[in-house]
Amino acid sequence: MKITFIGLGNMGAPMAANLARAGYDLTVCDLDPAKATELQSLGATFVDSPEKAVQHTDIVMTSLPGPKQIEAMAGPAMLEAMKPGSVWIELSTNNLEVERSVRAKAEKQGVEMLDAPVSGGTEGAAKGTLTIMVGGDLPVFKRCQPLLEVIGGNVMHLGDHGAGYVAKIAQVVLCYLHSVALSEALMLGVKGGVDAATMLAIIQNSTGTSYVADRYGPPLLDGTYDPGFALGLAHKDMRLTLELAQSISAQLPLCTQVEDLYGRAVKAFGPDQNHLMALRLLEEANGQYLRKQDQRETA
Ligand code: NAD
């Protein structure tokens, strides 16, 4: 089975590396050839355009920034070069509108589609333990399941096309809500006189603790704001949340506020900053960094 993996970013590169290590015949592609260097040393072949990379391939996997880039692949740039009977497994976080329009084009081409967005961050991608939420036809899922189990520890078929994207958006929103909640709780403690590291340790050992407290607390306190996921992509997820909510008439007041915060942070700091920079706005509003004692200064 020949596989092509397109999009070798923070998530794509470690996922592709796991496929290469598992011995698959793998072609990889990214706008930036440097991102393929390590994969080439694992036996993958780099091709510099998606159109050339997908010819003669049985399965194409994409891990791209978002709807715009996915839509751009659904034409001569990639899809039209795929062979009939092949499968496009789309691993990014996407919206339902683009899912439908891309799938309609894929059907005309005789290409099967699965939406298979992932959760677990760069750590899960490196370890091959991602949660993968799949929408699409069950027989196609069954055919691709062994491959998905190389990159994921929890691979679930959720139903029809689009179900994966819905589940992904519904769970990822908690990451941002929790990040804001964590920073507000820390701010309350720190401004009230408790050391930030002590306050984080208390949160981690109390009823309000979360994966976010364990995973994002330390990079918030050391001022690195967590490389590995971009602020612009975090804001994209919040926008997708509000779009989905509107399309199904869900009222989500907290999500509306959090989307606004991430949007303002993108304007203030730029989309390429680390995602926890959104919380810098809270630090600035309070004139107080959430830092360990030895790194404390005034925001
Ligand atoms: P990223 O920006 O690091 O990687 C995207 C890659 O796609 C880049 O290397 C870019 O060069 C490449 N690319 C863009 N357009 C291309 C094109 N036309 N041809 C070839 N390559 C192209 O993003 P990421 O953090 O790896 O995230 C990828 C997807 O996974 C996003 O949809 C994101 O929302 C989702 N996601 C990310 C995380 C995370 O922790 N980083 C976790 C879960 C889901």
List all residues whose CB is within 6 A of at least one atom of ligand 1. 6-12, 29-32, 35, 50, 63-66, 69, 92-93, 118-119, 121-122, 228-230, 233
User: Does residue 121 contact residue 93 with C-beta atoms inside 8 Å?
Assistant: no
Each residue's pLDDT tens digit, 151-196? 999 999 999 999 999 999 999 999 999 999 999 999 999 999 999 9
Query: In terms of C-beta density within 10 A (0-12 exposed, 13-18 middle, 19 or more buried), how is residue 205 classed?
Result: exposed
**Domain limits of the chain?**
2-160, 166-295
2 catalytically annotated: no
Q: Going by C-beta distance under 8 Å and a sequence separation of 6 or more, which residues neighbour residue 71?
A: 98, 101, 102
Each residue's pLDDT tens digit, 116-131? 999 999 999 999 999 9
Q: What average pLDDT is seen over the chain?
A: 96
Architecture of domain 2-160: 3-Layer(aba) Sandwich (3.40)
**Candidates 168, 191, 236, 267; catalytic one:** 168
For residue 72, what pLDDT is reported? 98
Averaged over 202-223, what is the pLDDT? 96
Nearest atom within ligand 1 for CA of residue 8: 9
Each residue's pLDDT tens digit, 13-37? 999 999 999 999 999 999 999 999 9
Local confidence band at 295 (pLDDT 50, 70, 90 cut-offs): low
User: Does residue 115 contact residue 136 with C-beta atoms inside 8 Å?
Assistant: yes
Half-sphere exposure (CA, 13 Å, Cβ side) for 137?
10
Q: How far apart are CA 274 and CA 269, in angstroms?
A: 9
Each residue's pLDDT tens digit, 35-66? 999 999 999 999 999 999 999 999 999 999 99
- 166-295 placed in CATH 1.10.1040.10: yes
- Residue 296 pLDDT > 70: no
For residue 292, what pLDDT is reported? 78
Averaged over 231-248, what is the pLDDT? 97
Total-model pTM = 0.94
Each residue's pLDDT tens digit, 262-283? 999 999 999 999 999 999 999 9
Which helix H or strand E contains 27, and what residues bound it? strand 25-29
Q: Is 242 helix (H, G, I), strand (E, B) or coil?
A: helix
The alpha helices in the chain, defined as continuous H runs, are 12-21, 37-41, 50-53, 67-73, 96-109, 121-127, 138-151, 163-191, 196-204, 211-221, 231-247, 253-269, 280-286
For residue 216, what pLDDT is reported? 96
For residue 141, what pLDDT is reported? 98
